[in-house]
Structure 1
Amino acid sequence: MEQTVVTQPKRLQPKKPRRRITPATVCQAIHDVPYIVARALIRAVRAVGHCFAWTWDAIASDVRANWRAFCRGRLVTGCRDALRSPALREVHHIMRDHPSIRAITMIAVTAVIFAAAVMAEPVRTMDAICIVVDGDGPHVLDERSEERTYDDLLLRRSLGDKSMQLLLEPGRTVTITHGDDTHTLTTEAERLSSLLRRSGIRLGEDEMVELNVAGEDPAIRISDTLTYQHYVTVETDYKILRSPDPLMDKGTEEIIRKGIPGQIVETYEDTVVSGEVVSTKYIGASHDTSHAELVRYGTRVYEVEEGDTIEKDFPNEVGEGGYLLFASGDTMTYNKVMLCSSTAYYSGGDGGAAWTTAVGAAVGVGTVAVDPKVIPYYTKMFIQTTNGRRVYGMGTALDCGGAIKGNIVDLWFPTKADCYSWGRRNVTVYILDKKAS
Structure 2
Amino acid sequence: MNLARENHPSRKRFSLNKMVLIIVSSMVLLGMISYITYETVTADVLVIQDGKEKKNITTADNVSELMDELGIDVSKHDDLSVALDSEIKDGMIIEYTKAKKITVYIDGKQQDYYTTEKTVKEFLNDESIKLNEHDEMSVALNKEVTDELEFSIQKGFEVTITDGGEKRTAMVTNQTVGDLLEEQNITLNEHDRVNAELDASVKDHRNIDIVRVTKETVTEEVAIPFQTETQQDSSMLRGNSEVLQLGSDGQKVQTFEVTKENGEVVSRELIEEEIVEESQNRIVAKGTKVPVKLASAEEGGDWESFTSTKYTAFCPSGCTGSTATGVDVSDTIYYNGMRIVAVDPNVIPLYSIVEVKTPNNTFKAIALDTGGSIKGKKIDILVDSRQEASRWGYRTVQVRMIDKN
TM-score bracket, normalised by the shorter chain, equals under 0.3
Higher helix residue share: 1
Which structure's CA Rg is the greater one?
2
Higher strand residue share: 2
- TM-score scaled to structure 1, two decimals? 0.24
